[in-house]
Amino acid sequence: MRTYLVTGGAGFIGSNYIHYMFRKYDGDIRIINVDCLTYAGNLENLRDIEQRDNYSFVKADICDKEAIDRIFSENDIDRVVHFAAESHVDRSIRDPEIFVRTNVLGTAVLLNAARKAWENEDGSYKEDKKFLHVSTDEVYGSLPDDDSAFFYETSPVDPHSPYSASKASSDMLVKAYIDTYRFPANITNCSNNYGPYQFPEKLIPLIINNALNGKKLPVYGDGRNVRDWLYVDDHAKAIDMVQEKGRLGERYNIGGHNEKQNIEIIKIILQTLNEMLPDSDPRKSAINESLITYVEDRKGHDRRYAIAPDKIKADTGWYPETMFKDGIRLTIKWYFEHEDWMKNVTSGDYQKYYQEMYK
Ligand code: NAD
Ligand code: DAU
């Protein structure tokens, strides 16, 4: 039975990936989830699978060399899927150091542990061992408004925020392991994800939550920055297909072919909320465009991201399956059905973050 080590599996994409993998492989794989449970890590996201015999959780920091080495010495790990990171751009602008520590040092610790566990004396590797580093399209910087430009795997790396600089650094470390040690790894650079379990510091869940509570909807700058939105299950599937069918050592861009301005996203959410809420719901009357509030722009705000996912399609057959109009309904439905989840994650520290961030 193949054993996966998933880092950051209690976060948004990591938990969706674990659910996806158990739906697909059920009892045929084993997953060990290592996460130190920062503000973004939430074991509630995994409540329905935590009793499985083929799932286990280890609370550990990926920068803790001893703890990570121990996981590799106690388990015969076949696949590493590395999600753990500080992931929010605004937080990186306020406090860059933790981004360097987790995203760069943490990745180095993992690479080293995997290499030590997997490398034979002659420099070859044990059979069928693979490491996948989950990264972002933000490493490529920003595209002009002109919608004919795209990010390719060959696009120059040009990060602008401390977050994207730390992710670009970790990508380069993985690339250095591939080039220097012939380490069996892939890097994936994905566009903006949305879906269940996303922490409401990110645009889509923040707008859903604020609108449902009749709160203002903060739009940075002119609201015309463009992101390429991908439903999170499509990302999970892409990661699996890269490990199953991709060429080792390669970088793959993953994107939704779904570019939208932030202001369009907000208007779609308002419209969809209104369509989905029954007329009897008292919140409905307050959900309209008068909630939209333009606020100070993000520092160094990247204008446009857009992925050309041609290479992953050619090599693995993957393509983004979920249309945005369907994905956003699934997402809103999930938040309707998980009001307690939202209440829990927005109590305490979130309130402090929100006051400071949006004051
Ligand atoms: P998230 O913030 O929701 O989750 C991150 C998880 O990592 C949390 O569970 C957290 O507890 C854990 N973590 C943080 N520091 C850790 C440490 N030192 N040791 C162990 N665990 C730690 O992030 P996400 O949005 O799910 O993103 C996951 C990965 O995907 C990140 O690497 C991110 O750069 C990348 N990515 C995200 C998006 C997106 O749209 N969210 C798009 C492309 C790539
Ligand atoms: O592109 C992939 C990246 O997408 C990931 O690597 C990051 O981990 C993830 O956080 C996300 O980064 P963004 O900065 O694009 O996502 P965010 O949801 O923070 O913002 C999306 C856009 O919405 C961006 O242009 C900023 C804008 N925005 C965001 C917030 C939180 C607003 O206008 N108002 C807001 O309140």
Q: Convert the pLDDT of each residue in 189-231 to its tens digit.
A: 999 999 999 999 999 999 999 999 999 999 999 999 999 999 9
Nearest-CA residue for ligand 1 atom 32 is 83
Please state whether the predicted TM-score (pTM) of the whole model is above 0.85. Answer: yes
95 catalytic per annotation: no
Residues, the chain, total?
359
Task: Give the number of whichever ligand sits closest to the CA of residue 140.
Answer: 2
> Is there a domain that residue 291 lies in?
no
Q: Whose CA is nearest to atom 19 of ligand 2?
A: 202
Residue 105 lies in a domain: yes
Pocket lining: 160 vs ligand 2, CB cutoff 6 Å? no
From 13, 89, 230, 357, the mutation candidate for ligand 2 (largest count of ligand atoms within 8 A of CB) is: 89
Which atom of ligand 1 lies nearest, measured to the CA of 199? 3
**90: CA distance to ligand 2 center in Å?**
8
**183: in domain:** yes
Encode pLDDT of 32-51 as tens digits: 999 999 999 999 999 999 99
Count of domains in the chain?
Answer: 1
Q: What is the CATH number of the domain that holds 45?
A: 3.40.50.720
Q: In the predicted model, what is the mean pLDDT of residues 47-76? A: 98
For the segment 155-182, the average pLDDT, to the nearest whole number, is 98
Spatial neighbors of 166 by CB under 8 A, at least 6 apart, are 85, 86, 92, 96, 99, 100, 102, 103, 104
Query: Does 30 fall in a domain?
Result: yes
pLDDT at 2 over 90: yes
Shortest-distance Cα residue to atom 41 of ligand 1: 193
Range of the domain at 245: 2-198+229-260+305-324
Catalytic residue among 61, 78, 137, 240: 137
In a domain, 268, yes or no: no
Tens-place pLDDT, residues 235-288: 999 999 999 999 999 999 999 999 999 999 999 999 999 999 999 999 999 999
What is the structure's pLDDT at 148? 85
- The answer to whether 137 is a known catalytic residue is yes
The chain-wide mean pLDDT, for the chain, equals 97
Asked whether residue 77 is assigned to any structural domain, the reply reads yes
Residue 138 falls in the annotated catalytic set: yes
pLDDT at 147: 78
Q: Is the pLDDT of residue 165 over 90?
A: yes
Asked if residue 143 belongs to a domain, the reply is yes
The pLDDT score that the predictor gives to residue 359 is: 84
Quickly tell me which residue has 């509630």 as its tokens. Answer: 44
User: Per the domain annotation, does 147 fall within a domain?
Assistant: yes
Q: 258 near 228, Cβ under 8 Å?
A: yes
Query: Out of 35, 78, 138, 233, which one is annotated catalytic?
Result: 138
